[in-house]
Each structure stands twice: as C-alpha cells, then as structure tokens.
C-alpha cells in the first residue's frame, strides 16, 4: 500500500478546506492554538511510521488520555471498575451532568468527563497524584518508546482555573458516594493527565498497544485490548460517536485539543491533529482526514 501517497493526498485535501472548525475556548490556553495546524501519523506493525504535515509538533492530548488511564484502571481493578462506571454511549456532550442524577452518580461510560473522573479517582487509590501521573507518563512513554513526553503545566493551570464544570461533576458524584477523594484532588490529577502533550508521531506509536496483532508491543491483555476498542467505537466521540463510526468505521478517541487516536485492529495505530472542533467537540478536519484514510485503504472493523 502506498501510505505516503495516500497521506499526501489527504494533506492536500485538508489544506484546501476553508471551514476548519473552532479550537476549544473554555480552556483559554487551548483557545489561542492556530486552527491551521494539521499533522497525521500512521504506525504499522513492522515499525514503519508514515507521516504528513506537522507530525512532530506537540499538542494537548486532552481526552485521548482517557484511553491510557482506562487501560491502567482495567489492569489494576479488572471488571470491578464497572461497578462505578457504565459501558453505554451517553448521547450527550462530553461534559454533561444530566444523566448523573438519573443514574445515582454512575457515569454512562469512561470516556465522558464524569466517567473519566471516576477512572482517575480509582487509580488514585493508595497513591498521591504525583505518583499516578508518574505511572501514567511511564506507561505512555513505554508504549510510545519515547521518553520525551511531558505535561504542559500552563494548560493544566489554565484548566484548573476554569474547571468549575468538572468540579461540579466530581462533587455530584461525591454526593452519591462514587468519588473516593476530595473533588479538587481528583480533578487536579485529571486536569494534569489531560494536559499531557504529544506529537502525532508519538501518539500513533503509543496507540500500538491497542492494535492487538503480532509485532505490536502491548502491555495489556488481548481481552482488554478488544474491550477498550469496543468502548472507543461506541463512546470515543461522545454524542458524535455514531457519526464517527458511520464515517470512519474504526474505533477512535478524540480530545478537545483536536487530536484523535484511531485504531485499525490488526493493522495500525493512527493519530491525527487539527485543532478546530465540530459541534460535538471533536476535531472537524481530523475526522475528515481519518475518514479519507479509511476510504483509501479500505480499512474498517466491518469487513
């Protein structure tokens, strides 16, 4: 397959787009990112990586980090995690509080903010935030085979200063006994995990542990790999998850920094970054880029 040619065609199509979406503005530090950025990387089993655009520029991975914390939590707690968080698409925005009242403080899934806060709260058990963030960075660096991955403190501070909504979610869950640390501590850890910055190349490399085929290093079990992919397909794009599955046909996890990690099971890990978001808070042109990539390669989980 001519991956280089395919990526070059996609970059050309993306460059020609005039409507690039809008960068997230509720985290001021992200609002000033230029929507013109675009980078994409594809990591294959044999170790080859193909890229286009700004594949070596760092961006804020934001909610893509939820894939890594979920992996750590499943490794530590297994199925016990599911007593605190569900596995159903929410059909609501990523930061919605609505369902929590109906469902006794149990968030619908681990990829909406409420669910991710519970996952972070779970891995905080018996550990200080600094230890949890250290373990998370070690895990991501090992997956990416790259030590040069860090937290952007300015982004973490910016979100902490404007974190009322996530604090509200955390307090609401605490009221239902589904938060085991004080909301400020769980939220603070979560804001720092979201502020990890990576390049598209690093993210594609790190995602290989979810490809589930020989040649791809993985630190987690085959069963967990399949289940995390199932959750990415059904819940990875919030109330845009159905549309992403329809258009792309591959599991993906987005973040409000404009990044998307996409897994082609058995084939490759793909990362794309374009900071402009659509109405659901997912990268507008990132989605278009991976839609085109799936069309041109013929890759799909549906055969």
Which residues of the chain form contacts with ligand GLN (CB under 6 A)? 62-63, 94-95, 113, 159, 166, 194, 255-256, 281
What's the token pair of residue 241? 């998850």
Tell whether 190 is in a known binding site. yes
Residues 6+ apart with CB under 8 A from 36: 20
Helix-strand-coil percent breakdown of the chain, rounded to 5? 50, 10, 35
Distances (CA, A) of 286 to 18, 86, 107, 292: 14, 27, 27, 10
Q: Which of 121, 138, 119 is nearest to 67 (CA)?
A: 119
**For residues 75 and 93, which CB has a smaller minimum distance to ligand GLN in the complex?**
93
Tell whether 159 is in a known binding site. yes
**For residues 179 and 268, which CB has a smaller minimum distance to ligand GLN in the complex?**
179
**For residues 10 and 124, which CB has a smaller minimum distance to ligand GLN in the complex?**
124
**For residues 237 and 292, which CB has a smaller minimum distance to ligand GLN in the complex?**
237
What's the token pair of residue 302? 């549906």
Q: Nearest approach, Cβ of 34 to ligand GLN (angstroms)?
A: 18
The residue sitting closest to ligand GLN, measured at its beta carbon, is 63
Tell whether 95 is in a known binding site. no
Pairing type for strands 39-44 and 268-273 reads antiparallel
Tell whether 178 is in a known binding site. no
Angle at 268 between CA 296 and CA 149, to 5 degrees: 120
Q: Nearest approach, Cβ of 195 to ligand GLN (angstroms)?
A: 8
**For residues 3 and 59, which CB has a smaller minimum distance to ligand GLN in the complex?**
59
Tell whether 3 is in a known binding site. no
Q: Nearest approach, Cβ of 263 to ligand GLN (angstroms)?
A: 18
> What span, in angstroms and rounded, lies between the C-alpha atoms of 284 and 157?
26
Q: Nearest approach, Cβ of 83 to ligand GLN (angstroms)?
A: 23
Distances (CA, A) of 11 to 15, 28, 37: 6, 28, 11
> What span, in angstroms and rounded, lies between the C-alpha atoms of 70 and 296?
31
Tell whether 135 is in a known binding site. no
Tell whether 238 is in a known binding site. yes
Q: Nearest approach, Cβ of 63 to ligand GLN (angstroms)?
A: 3
> What span, in angstroms and rounded, lies between the C-alpha atoms of 275 and 282?
9
**For residues 43 and 114, which CB has a smaller minimum distance to ligand GLN in the complex?**
114
> What span, in angstroms and rounded, lies between the C-alpha atoms of 150 and 145?
14
Q: Nearest approach, Cβ of 151 to ligand GLN (angstroms)?
A: 12
Mark the binding-site residues for substrate, compressed into ranges.
Answer: 63, 113, 159, 166, 190, 238, 256
Name the binding residues.
63, 113, 159, 166, 190, 238, 256
């Amino acid at each position: 397959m001519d991956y280089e040619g395919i990526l070059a065609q996609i970059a050309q199509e993306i460059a020609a787009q005039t409507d690039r979406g809008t960068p997230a503005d509720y985290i001021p530090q992200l609002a000033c990112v230029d929507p013109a950025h675009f980078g994409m990387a594809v990591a294959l089993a044999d170790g080859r990586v193909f890229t286009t655009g700004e594949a070596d520029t760092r961006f804020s991975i934001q909610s893509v980090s939820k894939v890594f914390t979920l992996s750590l939590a499943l490794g530590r707690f297994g199925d016990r995690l599911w007593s605190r968080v569900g596995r159903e698409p929410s059909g609501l925005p990523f930061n919605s509080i609505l369902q929590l009242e109906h469902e006794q403080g149990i968030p619908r899934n681990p990829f909406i903010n409420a669910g991710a806060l519970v996952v972070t709260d779970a891995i905080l058990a018996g550990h200080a935030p600094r230890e949890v963030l250290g373990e998370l960075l070690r895990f991501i660096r090992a997956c990416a085979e790259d030590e040069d991955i860090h937290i952007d403190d300015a982004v973490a501070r910016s979100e902490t200063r404007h974190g009322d909504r996530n604090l509200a979610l955390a307090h609401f869950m605490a009221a239902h006994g589904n938060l085991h640390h004080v909301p400020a501590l769980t939220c603070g850890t979560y804001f720092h995990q979201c502020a990890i910055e990576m390049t598209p190349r690093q993210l594609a490399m790190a995602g290989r542990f979810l490809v589930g085929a020989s040649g791809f290093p993985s630190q987690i079990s085959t069963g967990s790999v399949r289940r995390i992919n199932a959750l990415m397909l059904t819940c990875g794009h919030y109330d845009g998850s159905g549309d992403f599955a329809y258009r792309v046909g591959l599991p993906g996890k987005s973040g409000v920094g404009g990044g998307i990690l996409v897994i082609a099971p058995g084939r490759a890990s793909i990362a794309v970054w374009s900071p402009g978001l659509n109405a659901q808070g997912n990268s507008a042109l990132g989605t278009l880029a991976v839609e085109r990539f799936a069309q041109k390669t013929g890759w799909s989980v549906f055969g």
